[in-house]
Amino acid sequence: MADLSDDELLAELGVTVEPKKATGQTQRQERIIAGFEEIVRFREEHDRIPQHGEQRDIFERLYAVRLDRLRAVPECRELLAPLDRYGLLDLPATAETLPAEALDDEALLAELGVDSPKVSDISVLKHVTSREEKRAAEEIANRTRCEDFDMFKPLFDQVRKELDMGARTTRTLDKAEMQLSDIRPGEWFVVGGQMAYIATAGDEFVTEYDRKDRRLRVIYDNATESNVLARSFQKALYRDDAGRRITNPSAGPLFGDATEGDDLESGTIYVLRSKSNLPEVAQHRELIHKIGVTGGSVEARITQAAQDPTYLLADVEIVATYKLFNINRTRLENIFHRLFSAVRLDLSITDRFGQPVRPKEWFLVPLHVIDQAVQKIRDGSIIDFVYDPNTASLISSTHRVTSK
């Protein structure tokens, strides 16, 4: 038995070997077909064609660009027509394409999202004119599916909520001041149109160029992750014109030491009660309050209230004021508006020119609840609360979700 050839041994075992059929296709054509088959599988799995947009999964964005390229090249359309059971090639292209005749074989493959034969990964994309897809192509080699994303998703949801409430903000990157040590576990960034969380960092080491570096695990909000060097991540941030850093709540976007464009060195939150005789107001006068922020005198601000539709064309009474320092007026007002949006006074009045006006800063909320909200804004805990109109009180946002 040891002297038998492979063919003889297979024959002894009763195994018939059929010769491999020649496809008659070049290696280039086979790779184009393989790339198209990935798009077909996406269509079957998601019941739609891949689409562009930074909010989309990186792989979907790559497939979308690849499909646009394939549609634009007659040679590819002819090659792939027998495989196009969903009519994908007949739909109009949605991205700019380069004329096929201007590309050599290697460049054409790159345009189609297919590397030359010396590279095994057919999903690397080059020479793409779309800014979004160019960014995706740079990231694809370092990103994989995040299998335990469920563990990180609550963190992303919380940070989004904190951004909405003004407890966090995004800031442009100061390349002159940003240090490698700033890219550490627990920090948040925006890169390539995606929110990125530094989950873990390995031990620091020295590169062959005598520079310190370490490897990071970075989780992205589209459920992908990368195992990337800190310096590489830093370069990706610098290359991205839209790259941002997400501040920590402790950075004090509302009350802090550093001022920004809309900050006030000192300011006052004021709460007013209207003296209007409108039935809608008179009926709930003790509950209807206007909440605002000013950097000057509240008394001076309301001297012309009776002529101003913002104040319901009536005199007002100051019922509470809160002095604050180094506040951001816009973020602070947005917090109040968001917190009490469900009980905003729905009222339209006519100004002195006969035009309808709908004041936006009046809310049906008890004064003691406004006082509680201010205290929670001071200590930063407001992000964990919502206003419940049914109980006329602030309740934990976690409790509200659980109750549902």
pLDDT along the chain (404 residues), means of 10: 58 55 71 87 83 74 85 88 87 51 44 43 41 44 81 88 77 74 88 89 81 90 89 85 78 45 66 92 91 86 88 92 74 83 87 80 92 83 84 76 43
Q: Are 87 and 155 in contact (CB under 8 A)?
A: no
What are the strands of the beta sheet with 244-246, ordered from one edge?
Answer: 143-145, 224-229, 215-220, 194-201, 188-191, 244-246, 170-172
Are 238 and 298 part of one and the same domain? no
The range of the structural domain enclosing residue 127 comes to 21-141
Q: Give a yes or no: residue 305 inside a domain.
A: yes
Q: What is the pLDDT of residue 370?
A: 93
Q: What is the pLDDT of residue 92?
A: 66
Q: Give a yes or no: residue 85 inside a domain.
A: yes
Residue after which a domain boundary falls, among 117, 141, 165: 141
Q: Give a yes or no: residue 257 inside a domain.
A: no
The two tokens of residue 397 are 């946002």
Interval 249-305: pLDDT, tens:
644 445 444 445 555 556 788 999 999 999 889 888 999 999 988 878 899 889 889
Count CA atoms within 13 Å of residue 234 on its CB side: 18
Q: What is the pLDDT of residue 257?
A: 41
Are 297 and 218 part of one and the same domain? no
Q: What is the pLDDT of residue 253?
A: 43
d(CA 146, CA 84): 31
Are 300 and 344 part of one and the same domain? yes
Are 216 and 297 part of one and the same domain? no
d(CA 218, CA 197): 6
The two tokens of residue 42 are 């996406």
Are 335 and 361 part of one and the same domain? yes
d(CA 187, CA 178): 13
Q: What is the pLDDT of residue 10?
A: 58
The two tokens of residue 348 are 């339209």
Interval 108-149: pLDDT, tens:
445 444 444 443 343 444 444 344 444 444 444 468 889 999
Among the listed residues 135, 209, 211, the one whose alpha carbon sits nearest the alpha carbon of residue 180: 211
Task: Specify the number of domains making up the chain.
Answer: 3
Q: What is the pLDDT of residue 101?
A: 41
Are 222 and 291 part of one and the same domain? no
d(CA 63, CA 95): 12
Q: What is the pLDDT of residue 250?
A: 46
Q: Give a yes or no: residue 271 inside a domain.
A: yes
Residue after which a domain boundary falls, among 206, 229, 251: 251
Residue after which a domain boundary falls, among 209, 226, 251: 251
